[in-house]
């Protein structure tokens, strides 16, 4: 892979629903580059934040941004990572 993790992950999302997902489902939401696929996103999140990713769901928002909802493996805490990212 010739990309850098920072080329894939644009930034975390701090909307109310995204923060609810952190608490309830151990999931983080990121805006990602349009050209990235689920494998790229999983790789970038694991590389950048030192966590293990269980699954990735992607969607294109109405404002034409690509959003990824990343579920972390249960031994990793989405709230801890959200705190480090300044979301909580």
How do the domains of the chain map onto residue ranges?
Answer: 5-84
Q: Is 64 helix (H, G, I), strand (E, B) or coil?
A: coil
Quick one: DSSP state of residue 73? P
pTM of the model: 0.94
Please give the pLDDT value at position 3.
80
Residue 13 has a pLDDT of: 97
Task: Look at residue 88 in the predicted model and tell me its pLDDT.
Answer: 87
pLDDT above 70 for 53: yes
- Tokens linked to 85: 């990212």
Other Cβ atoms less than 10 A from the Cβ of 8: the count is 23
Task: List, for residues 5-34, the tens digit of each pLDDT value.
Answer: 999 999 999 999 999 999 999 999 999 999
pLDDT at 1 over 60: no
9-12, strands of its sheet edge to edge: 9-12, 27-32, 66-72, 53-60
Q: How far apart are the first and last CA of the chain?
A: 32
Q: Give residue 2's pLDDT.
A: 60
Q: What is the pLDDT of residues 37-49, one digit of tens each?
A: 999 999 999 999 9
CATH of the structural domain 5-84, one choice from 3.40.50.720, 3.30.70.330, 3.90.320.10, 3.40.50.1980:
3.30.70.330
């Amino acid at each position: 892979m010739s990309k850098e993790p920072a080329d894939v992950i644009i930034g975390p999302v701090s909307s109310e629903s995204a923060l609810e997902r952190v608490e309830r489902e151990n999931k983080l939401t990121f805006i990602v580059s349009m050209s990235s696929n689920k494998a790229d996103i999983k790789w970038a999140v694991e590389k950048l934040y030192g966590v293990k990713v269980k699954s990735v769901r992607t969607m294109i928002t109405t404002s034409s941004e690509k959003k990824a909802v990343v579920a972390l493996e249960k031994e990793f805490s989405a709230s801890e990572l959200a705190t480090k990212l300044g979301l909580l």
